[in-house]
DNA sequence: ATGGTGGAAGGTCCA
């Protein structure tokens, strides 16, 4: 049975409730993980999602910033989240699929700090926070076991083909050496498979295009910031991966496009 | 080298 998971930085779930509904109607993933919901959990507009079959929602939120949510048409059991960097931020939410062929698979939805502009932890506390967050992701990954899918806006584009210009972004936060080193170390620590690159090792892949371009599509200065990782138990079941680039062109879009992965479980 | 846009809060910070 196929299990399709989607991850999307929505940049306000309340402002873009209609876009979320459109995605659910047109693409119908089994599970949709959202980041930057920017809403307290109680104010997430759940009714319309439930009416579309996504009555299971596990979320964490705060007012105005951060926020992560898992919408599902499969039953979920919420799992404890980790308070990365001990700040109480709503950057991780987790659940276990509770029924069906994928029963027992854990879903981890993460929003890694963007890290600010200056890629120097000595003068930029946001970049320091980002580096420590990714280090902690490695520690946590090394200690966990069992079938799992980790998705989210990880805010790092690790490969040369994950950015529009490797050379021009080497000193731009999201593609710097200290970030990428820690990112790949964290992935290795959990034996996570990068599903998009398992299925397409070469060629440009982006999931984010800045709002600050006069024509995002024409300039196509994208980065792959949104990821789907799978644990070794299920990485081999990955069958498909894609970016719904069209959603970046929807009315009043998020600056991120949804990323999908399908597993035969 | 710079500034460009967008969301939310609320007279600014974050991305």
Helix (H, G, I), strand (E, B) or coil at A162: helix
**For residue A182, is it left (φ>0), alpha (ψ between -120 and 50) or beta?**
alpha
Evaluate if the CB of A87 falls below 7 Å from strand B.
Answer: no
Evaluate if the CB of A64 falls below 7 Å from strand B.
Answer: yes
Provide the angle, in degrees to the nearest 10, between the axes of the packed helices A177-189 and A125-143.
Answer: 20
Evaluate if the CB of A130 falls below 7 Å from strand B.
Answer: no
Q: List, for residues A190-210, the tens digit of each pLDDT value.
A: 999 999 999 999 999 999 999
Looking across all nucleic acid strands, the nucleotide with the smallest C1' to CA distance from residue A14 is: B7
Looking across all nucleic acid strands, the nucleotide with the smallest C1' to CA distance from residue A111 is: B15
Evaluate if the CB of A38 falls below 7 Å from strand B.
Answer: yes
Helix, strand and coil in chain A, % to nearest 5: 30, 25, 45
Q: List, for residues A240-262, the tens digit of each pLDDT value.
A: 999 999 999 999 999 999 999 99
**Separation of CA A212 and C1' B3 in angstroms?**
9
The predicted pLDDT at position A15 comes to 97
Evaluate if the CB of A212 falls below 7 Å from strand B.
Answer: yes
Q: List, for residues A62-110, the tens digit of each pLDDT value.
A: 999 999 999 999 999 999 999 999 999 999 999 999 999 999 999 999 9
pTM comes to: 0.97
**Separation of CA A191 and C1' B12 in angstroms?**
41
**Separation of CA A12 and C1' B7 in angstroms?**
7
Q: With contact defined as beta carbons under 8 Å apart, do A111 and A68 qualify? A: yes
The predicted pLDDT at position A16 comes to 97
Written as six digits, the tokens of A137 are 């992701």
Q: With contact defined as beta carbons under 8 Å apart, do A38 and A67 qualify? A: yes
Name the β-bridge partners of A208.
A223, A256
**Separation of CA A89 and C1' B14 in angstroms?**
14
Q: Which nucleotides of B are covered by protein (CB under 7 A)?
A: 3-9, 14-15
The predicted pLDDT at position A13 comes to 97
Evaluate if the CB of A252 falls below 7 Å from strand B.
Answer: yes
Where does the pLDDT of residue A20 fall: very low under 50, low under 70, confident under 90, or very high at 90 and above? Answer: very high
Evaluate if the CB of A109 falls below 7 Å from strand B.
Answer: no
Q: List, for residues A122-163, the tens digit of each pLDDT value.
A: 999 999 999 999 999 999 999 999 999 999 999 999 999 999
- Measured between alpha carbons, how far is A27 from A25 in angstroms, rounded to an integer? 6
State chain A's mean pLDDT as an integer: 97
Evaluate if the CB of A63 falls below 7 Å from strand B.
Answer: yes
Other Cβ atoms closer than 10 A to A163: 24
Specify the DSSP class assigned to residue A172: S
């Amino acid at each position: 049975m196929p299990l399709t998971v989607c991850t999307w930085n929505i940049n306000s779930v309340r402002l873009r409730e209609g876009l979320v509904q459109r995605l659910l109607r047109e693409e119908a993933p089994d599970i949709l993980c959202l980041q930057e919901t920017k809403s307290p959990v109680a104010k997430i507009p759940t009714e319309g999602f439930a009416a579309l079959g996504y009555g299971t929602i596990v979320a964490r939120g705060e007012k105005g910033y951060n926020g992560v949510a898992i919408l599902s048409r499969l039953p979920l059991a919420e799992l404890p989240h980790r308070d990365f960097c001990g700040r109480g931020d709503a950057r991780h939410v987790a659940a276990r699929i509770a029924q069906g062929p994928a029963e027992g698979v854990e879903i981890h939805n993460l929003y890694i700090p963007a890290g600010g502009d200056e890629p120097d932890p000595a003068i930029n506390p946001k970049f320091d926070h980002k580096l420590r967050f990714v280090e902690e992701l490695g520690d946590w990954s090394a200690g966990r076991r069992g079938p799992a899918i980790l998705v989210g806006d990880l805010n790092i584009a690790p490969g040369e083909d994950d950015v529009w210009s490797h050379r021009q972004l080497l000193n731009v936060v999201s593609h710097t050496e200290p970030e990428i080193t820690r990112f790949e170390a964290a992935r290795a620590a959990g034996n996570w498979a990068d599903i998009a690159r398992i299925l397409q090792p070469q060629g440009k892949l982006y999931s984010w295009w800045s709002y600050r371009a006069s024509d995002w599509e024409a300039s196509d200065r994208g980065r792959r910031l949104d990821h789907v990782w799978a644990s070794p138990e299920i990485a081999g079941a990955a069958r498909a991966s894609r970016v719904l680039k069209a959603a970046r062109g929807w009315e009043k879009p998020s600056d991120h496009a949804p990323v999908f992965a399908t597993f035969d479980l």
